[in-house]
């Protein structure tokens, strides 16, 4: 840690010792607190007035972001510098949203593939592009997992309005495959195989399964090729395969890729107009994040609050409570975005980190959560932080009720409730949280929100000096699964780990 960074870190530790022992009601809120601890970016408001901090903490956190030149690093990232050193790659998801500062070469490439994608989607939607049967498509079956699935399902669910039905198949268990295929007619089904690497086993297994299903149901081996779209960065593998191909630039990471050709199912389900608004919203947030000073920068503030809670107030989990029905899949999406990006213990210099990195990210759709796990939030023993996602837009009184609930839960998690003589009725409170309020729930606002979280993640990567764009930790499990799979299908195959080998031998007879 550079000396000035270490000094600010020590100062934050001193400040935190006071805040850890302060009771929630000692945070007497003055009217200007709301002015000082809220910021708005074009209809998206961030309110961190219910966090366990004061002016001194905020100043030191901002000093920390300035000491590491956080904004300049974001600008260099946007401009296409290598920010993913372990894979020697830039991170250019922002270029897909047409950031003027992005590298020209990549931008040109993107412009061409973007126009091609739009044209293809328009033709599918209008019925001009058909499958082997000559009839218009009614359904889309999307095969893909992780970053090639979560954002797509979230956005299709949030904004879907076209005539096409979308079905997602991510993991390859037979039950899932059966469920996905049961209602589909191959003659009217467009199959999308989305995989950045085009080597992910679950996606490949599903591709194989769906190919067989197509051949069986149609009696034709070539039928699928007219109904097939492949999306990947792996151009050489795609070259030998049938179907329509879209290429995703290597510099666009899987969990940051829904804006690219990977967003085809979204484009098909929400239509070109909303898809444009989605990208415009994300671009708007990009422009804000790359230019606004730290104290009024939504992504930097969100990252600094996460750092304060994780590293100084020792929270171990962060819950995302979505009081916007359209965003019911947001917690799962953020789980991958934040935990795959920031679940790291080695710095970009290859040294062990000296502090915690990301907390567990979890959450759910509200108000269902209130009738399930909020008891834990209010009277459990763990400390956590939270983001409340709510909307001021209301079409019915029930929407107002939902907003009231979000504000109530936000208030109680911080202030608790201590006026009862019965100890089982008291609530400790003291859990810091941020309210993210959307004026409107539409494509633009959702684009802004997802981009905000992407930039929060990048900022935390820079603040913790870790690489938020790689994911080496998941590789070992894949190699092991391959070896164990071999032992499960070929009983003579011996595993080098004795205990594991014995365990497999015990399981083998039960497979019958």
- Annotated catalytic residue within 153, 338, 340, 454: 340
Residues 286, 94 contacting (CB under 8 angstroms): yes
Rounded least distance, CB 262 to ligand F6P, Å: 8
CA dist 81 and 201 (Å) reads: 31
Residues found near ligand F6P in the complex (CB under 6 A):
145-148, 195-197, 200, 203, 254-255, 340, 471, 474
- Annotated catalytic residue within 55, 417, 425, 478: 478
Q: Which residues of 418-450 are buried (b: 16+ CB within 10 A; e: fewer)?
A: eeeeeeeeebbbbbbbbbbbbeebbbbbbbbbb
Rounded least distance, CB 468 to ligand F6P, Å: 12
- Annotated catalytic residue within 175, 371, 395, 512: 371
- Closest CB to ligand F6P among 372 and 474? 474
| Cα→Cα distances 187→90, 133, 137, 219, Å | 41, 5, 8, 12
- Closest CB to ligand F6P among 64 and 143? 143
- Closest CB to ligand F6P among 205 and 226? 205
- Closest CB to ligand F6P among 371 and 476? 476
Q: Is 395 noted as a catalytic residue in this protein?
A: no
Beta strands 38-41; 165-169: pairing state? unpaired
Single out the residue of 443, 398, 453 nearest to residue 157, CA to CA: 443
Q: Is 371 noted as a catalytic residue in this protein?
A: yes
Q: Is 245 noted as a catalytic residue in this protein?
A: no
- At a CB cut-off of 8 Å and minimum separation 6, what does 350 contact? none
Rounded least distance, CB 108 to ligand F6P, Å: 24
- At a CB cut-off of 8 Å and minimum separation 6, what does 208 contact? none
Rounded least distance, CB 336 to ligand F6P, Å: 7
Rounded least distance, CB 425 to ligand F6P, Å: 45
- Closest CB to ligand F6P among 50 and 145? 145
Q: Exposed (0-12), middle (13-18) or buried (19+): which is 472, by Cβ within 10 Å?
A: exposed
- Closest CB to ligand F6P among 42 and 87? 87
CA dihedral over 467, 470, 473, 476, signed as positive or negative: negative
| Cα→Cα distances 384→17, 310, 379, 413, Å | 17, 9, 12, 10
Rounded least distance, CB 254 to ligand F6P, Å: 3
Tokens 């061409």 sit on residue: 112
Give the active site residues.
Answer: 340, 371, 478
């Amino acid at each position: 840690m550079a000396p000035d960074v270490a000094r600010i870190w020590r100062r934050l530790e001193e400040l935190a010792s006071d805040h850890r022992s302060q009771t929630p009601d000692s945070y007497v809120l003055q009217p200007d607190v709301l002015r000082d601890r809220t910021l708005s970016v074009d209809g998206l408001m961030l309110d961190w007035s219910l966090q366990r901090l004061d002016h001194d903490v905020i100043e030191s956190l901002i000093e920390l972001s300035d000491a590491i030149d956080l904004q300049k690093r974001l600008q260099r990232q946007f401009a296409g510098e290598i920010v993913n050193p372990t894979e020697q790659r830039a991170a250019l998801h922002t270029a897909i949203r047409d950031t003027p500062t992005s590298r020209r070469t990549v931008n040109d490439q993107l412009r061409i593939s973007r126009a091609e994608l739009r044209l293809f989607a328009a033709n599918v939607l209008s019925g001009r592009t058909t499958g082997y049967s000559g009839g218009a498509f009614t359904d889309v079956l999307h095969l893909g997992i992780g970053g090639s699935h979560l954002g797509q399902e979230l956005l299709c669910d949030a904004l879907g309005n076209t005539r096409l039905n979308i079905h997602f198949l991510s993991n390859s268990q037979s039950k899932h495959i059966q469920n996905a295929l049961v209602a589909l007619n191959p003659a009217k089904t467009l199959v999308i195989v989305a995989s950045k690497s085009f080597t992910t086993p679950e996606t490949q297994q599903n591709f194989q399964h769906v190919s067989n299903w197509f051949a069986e149901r149609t009696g034709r081996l070539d039928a699928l090729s007219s109904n097939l779209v492949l999306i990947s960065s792996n151009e050489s593998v795609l070259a030998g395969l049938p179907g329509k191909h879209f290429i995703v630039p290597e510099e666009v990471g899987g969990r940051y890729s829904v804006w690219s050709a990977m967003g085809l199912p979204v484009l098909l389900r929400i239509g070109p107009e909303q898809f444009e608004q989605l990208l415009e919203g994300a671009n708007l947030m990009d422009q804000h994040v790359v230019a606004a000073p730290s104290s009024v920068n939504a992504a930097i503030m969100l990252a600094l609050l996460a750092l304060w809670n994780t590293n100084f107030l020792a929270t171990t989990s962060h819950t995302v409570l979505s009081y916007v029905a359209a965003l019911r899949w947001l917690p799962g999406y953020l789980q991958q975005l934040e935990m795959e990006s920031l679940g790291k213990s080695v710095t970009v210099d290859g040294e062990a980190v000296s502090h915690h990195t990301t907390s567990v990210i979890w959450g759910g759709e509200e108000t269902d959560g209130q009738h399930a796990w909020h008891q834990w939030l209010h009277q459990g023993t763990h400390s956590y932080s939270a983001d409340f996602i709510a909307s001021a837009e209301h079409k019915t009184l029930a929407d107002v009720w939902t907003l009231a609930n979000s504000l109530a839960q936000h208030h109680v998690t911080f202030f608790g409730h201590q006026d009862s003589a019965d100890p089982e009725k008291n609530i400790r409170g003291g859990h810091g949280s941020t309210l993210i309020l959307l004026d409107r729930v539409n494509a633009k606002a959702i684009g802004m929100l997802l981009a905000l979280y992407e930039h929060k993640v990048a900022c935390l990567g820079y603040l913790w000096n870790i690489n938020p764009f790689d994911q080496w930790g998941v590789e070992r499990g894949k190699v092991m699964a391959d070896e164990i799979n071999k032992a499960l299908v070929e009983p003579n195959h011996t595993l080098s780990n004795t205990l594991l080998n014995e365990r497999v031998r015990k399981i083998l007879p039960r497979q019958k």
